[in-house]
Homo-oligomer: A and B are copies of this chain.
Amino acid sequence: MNVSIIGSGNVATQLGKALYQSKIEINAVWSRNPAHALTLAQQINSKTVASLDEISNSTSEIVIIAVKDDAIKTLVEQLKNYKGIVVHVSGAMPMDILSVCSKIGVFYPIQTFSKDRDINFKNVPICLEANSSETFKFLNELAVLLTSKVYEVNSEQRKILHLAAVFACNFPNYLYDIAGDILSKHQLDFEIIRPLIRETAEKVQKANPKEMQTGPAIRKDMNTMQAHESLLANHPEWQKLYRLMSTVIAKENKD
């Protein structure tokens, strides 16, 4: 297989590295930022190209567009003469955004990526969609080289998955951040709650989170909740968040 990558951000970098480690040839990397493209290309034994025309005219069997959602449409228009498969990696965008090309699909890895933190793709679910069974077959062959978890997911379902991922990843990370800020304001180290964060995530790897809920809200421990709200008096947004979270959690417990 012979792949080209458009983009040089978190997803492009981690996906590019994973493809490279799976012995897949990366023909070229293009990015709006040539320096970033070069950094990525050097890590995956590839080269950068100066224009998307070079990718259009290349022998790549597939072009993976891994850029911000609002840049996809403009970029794919520059690939309209390309004869291979074009996919994007976005959870939020429909496949049809690529329809200026004829062989299109989506290659959506459900994971949180950072440039500096390498991911073991073996455990990353990859959600595939394609506009023909032939293209789907190709995407599936590519995906199984990276992971054992391949799902077929249409554009509507993918939007739901992306929404769930915001609740499962982006929001929890921000709560970790608030926890860290609360601690540091009182000269306490974030390190002290890291094992708790890890265990909270580990607990739901086999169980259902509904059965794992602990804390003052599910116990309807009003004294503790009121004390906590008082401690947050100088941070109205955190207080509002505390109150809203606690209210919805307490409703779960119909005791």
Contact = CB atoms under 8 A, between A and B. Distances in A.
A253 to B, nearest CB: 11
Contact of A196 (B68, B70, B112, B223): B112
Nearest to A147: B195
B177 A175 contact: no
Nearest to A249: B174
Interface string A159-197: 111111111111111111111101100101010111111
Interface stretch (A47-55, A138-146, A200-208): A200-208
Given A199-B119, A201-B197, A241-B248, A160 B231 contact: yes
Given A195-B123, A203-B117, A221 B69 contact: yes
A74 interface: no
Contact of A69 (B124, B164, B223): B223
B195 A179 contact: no
A232 to B, nearest CB: 8
A110 interface: yes
A170 B111 contact: no
A195 B174 CA distance: 18
B125 A170 contact: no
B245 A174 contact: yes
A178 B164 CA distance: 8
| The 9 residue pairs across chains A and B that have the minimum distance between CB atoms | A170-B215, A201-B201, A172-B172, A177-B209, A176-B209, A167-B179, A168-B179, A164-B179, A169-B200
Interface of A: 10, 68-70, 92, 110-114, 117, 119, 123-125, 127, 149, 151, 153, 157, 159-180, 182-183, 186, 188, 190, 192-205, 207-210, 212-219, 221, 223-224, 227-228, 231-232, 237-238, 240-242, 244-245, 247-249, 252
